[in-house]
Structure 1
Amino acid sequence: MTYQVLILPFLAAAAILTLLSALRPHFGKRMIASTIAAVILLALTAVFDNVMIGAGLVKYPEENVSGIAIGLAPIEDFAYTLCAAYGVPALFVLLSRKKTT
Structure 2
Amino acid sequence: MTYALLCLPFLAAAAALTLLSARRPRFGRRMAASAVAALVLLGLTAVFDNAMIAAGLFTYPESHLIGVKVGLAPIEDFAYPLSAAFAVPAILVLLPERRRR
Q: What is the TM-score normalised by the length of structure 2?
A: 0.94
Q: What residue in structure 2 maps to residue 69 of structure 1?
A: 69
Which 4+ residue blocks in structure 1 deviate beyond 4 angstroms? none
Q: Secondary structure at the match of 1:9?
A: helix
Partner of 2:93: 93
Root-mean-square deviation (CA, aligned residues, Å) is: 0.9
Q: Determine helix, strand or coil for the equivalent of 1:22.
A: helix
Distance in 1 of aligned mates of 2:96 and 2:84? 18
- Unaligned stretches of 5+ residues in structure 1: none
Whole-Å separation in 1 of the counterparts to 2:29 and 2:76: 27
Unpaired segments of 5 or more residues in structure 2?
none
Q: Secondary structure at the match of 1:50?
A: helix
1:10 aligns to what? Answer: 10
* Cα deviation, residue 96, structure 1: 3.6
Distance 1:73 1:94 in 2: 33
Residue of structure 2 equivalent to 1:29 = 29
Task: Kindly indicate whether residue 83 of structure 2 is the aligned counterpart of residue 83 of structure 1.
Answer: yes
Q: How many residues align?
A: 98
